[in-house]
Amino acid sequence: MPISLLVASSDDHFREMVRENLLNIQNSKVLSEYPEVSSTLYIRVLQDLERHPEAALVVDMSYDAGVALAAMQKVKQAVPELYLIASNFQADGETVLSCLRAGASDFLTQPLKRIEFRDAMQRLESTPRKVSTAGSRLGKIYTFLGAKGGVGATTLAVNFAGVLAQRKQHVVMLDLDWTANDVALQIGAAPQYTLMEVGENLGRMDQALFEGFVTRDPLGFYLVGPPDSLEQRGYFTEPMFREFSTFLVEKYQSIVIDAGRNINDDVVLGALQASNTVFLVVTQEYPAIRNAQRYLSFLMRAGFTQDQIKIVINRYTKKPDSLHASLEQVQQTLGQPALYGIPNSPVFLASLNKARPMVQDREAAGELDRIFRSFVDKATGVKKEAVPKSA
């Protein structure tokens, strides 16, 4: 079984040493590094384990052994089957025993020694492991990424958040498209605060403060996005997003992100990496498909797996013409099946003009509303009740 490590340490040098030691071990890699060993470590570990259930965690305790032990205990409570390796300079009986009590499976003395590290990796390799995060109560992150301008990423994200909120979920929408800032436009909101205030107050963030910064849509979801004026790119970095998302998944059930299409923006890439599902929105137009293909290969090179990325065809038509590829052509070009097709419908434009999500008025939206809700079911894994066979 290949070795995949998650490494938590506030010490750059330690993380580098782990990476270096792994170079000599076949089929091994570091999947994620966490520059902080804190009480929220378990959240980031859980997020990564959802995608990589075979991964093991290494925790460097040297900065603050007490905090590290508490963090390890919390991680083990959340994922009891996780293979956990603790590491410290002190390796006396008391230290090692406290690690074992906190749930560690192994211990590495620092400074790391090549042979000891290799032996520890051999022990890890020979231990069967596949953790289950099914019982995790962390919120899910759903991100909509447009393969081209105007394909409908914002429209789909807004309606997706709307449906989940109508289902009484606690939902937060993040607009990470700093140039467009269209979510507010589509829901008729004029937010007072933005991601910049969130960023400035991350250190003392709690639910009350957060809900003071966000705009509440009448459908029930919260929105926070970029400042409206284009001069203010503001200071909101990828590490800030990471910390923010840790807070969000602990407190809310679903986080819906409009990522726009700037795939090589650090914050957007961080959001894609933290997502449970990325919906790559395409149309059947050739330029959009070509770009989707570029995006997919970029994401695969960045370590994404196919089941993290779902293709959604917007403005779907069953009748291809000279400007539109067929469903089969789209799937063949992208090398994976499409999750869903959302039809082209003037109802979307009408709802844009009213500045309210299409799903708000079920009657006016008719068939489109029904189709959209079954897209949400499929996308979130909600099982439809089996249709009873005729009596």
Kindly list the residues in this chain that would bind ligand ATP in the complex (CB under 6 A). Answer: 146, 149-155, 177, 180, 182, 260-261, 314-315, 342, 344-345, 348-349, 352
Of 340, 323, 329, nearest in space to 379 by CA? 340
Return the DSSP state at 388: P
List the 171-175 sheet strands across, edge first: 215-216, 222-224, 171-175, 254-258, 140-146, 277-282, 309-316, 338-343
Judged by CB, which is closer to ligand ATP: 53, or 343?
343
Bridge partners (DSSP) of residue 312 are 281, 340
Closest alpha carbon to 27 in 56, 3, 51, 57: 3
Minimum distance of Mg ion from residue 258's CB (angstroms): 6
**Which residue's CB is nearer to Mg ion, number 103 or number 146?**
146
- The listed partner (Mg ion, ligand ATP, none) that binds 3, CB under 5 to 8 Å by sort, is none
Of the pair 59, 158, the CB lying nearest Mg ion is at: 158
Closest CA to 89 of 62, 57, 114: 62
CB of 284: closest distance to ligand ATP in angstroms?
A: 12
Task: Tell me the H-state helices in 258-366.
Answer: 266-274, 286-301, 327-334, 346-354, 362-365
Out of 106, 182, 197, 217, the only residue in the binding site for Mg ion (CB under 5 A) is 182
DSSP code of residue 366: T
Binding partner of 345, given ligand ATP, Mg ion, none, CB within 5-8 angstroms per partner class: ligand ATP
Q: Is the four-CA dihedral 266, 270, 275, 277 of positive or negative sign?
A: positive
Q: Which does 315 bind (CB under 5 to 8 A by kind): Mg ion, ligand ATP, none?
A: ligand ATP
Select 32 or 154, whichever has its Cβ closest to Mg ion. Answer: 154
Q: How far apart are the first and last CA of the chain?
A: 50
- Using CB distances below 5 to 8 A depending on partner kind, what does residue 217 bind out of ligand ATP, Mg ion, none? none
Q: How many whole angstroms separate alpha carbon 286 and alpha carbon 127?
A: 48
Would you give the binding string for Mg ion spanning residues 140-179, x where CB under 5 A is met?
--------------x-------------------------
Tell me which of ligand ATP, Mg ion, none is bound by residue 382, counting a contact when its beta carbon lies within the kind-specific cut-off of 5 to 8 angstroms: none
Residue closer to ligand ATP (CB basis): 36 or 182: 182
Q: What residues make contact with Mg ion under the rule CB under 5 A?
A: 154, 180, 182
